[in-house]
């Protein structure tokens, strides 16, 4: 599997940002596809960006 250019903490932070705006808008801002944003939401939806 290809290594992601974002660490898990960054992915969760981007998802938190998407909660305030929208997934397509946030994905475009960070240079990822909308489907990637949705996949991250499915994988990390319950996580907190400030958790260790």
Please tell me the pTM assigned to this model.
0.74
For residues 2 and 4, give the distance between their C-alpha atoms in angstroms, rounded to a whole number: 6
Please report which confidence band the pLDDT of residue 47 belongs to, taking 50, 70 and 90 as the band edges.
low
What is the model's pLDDT at position 52?
Answer: 47
Question: In Å, what is the CA distance from 41 to each residue of 6, 18?
Answer: 14, 10
């Amino acid at each position: 599997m290809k290594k992601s250019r974002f660490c898990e903490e960054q992915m969760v932070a981007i998802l938190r940002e998407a909660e305030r705006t929208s997934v397509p808008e946030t994905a475009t801002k960070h240079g990822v596809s909308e489907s990637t944003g949705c996949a991250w939401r499915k994988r990390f939806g319950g996580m907190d960006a400030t958790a260790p």
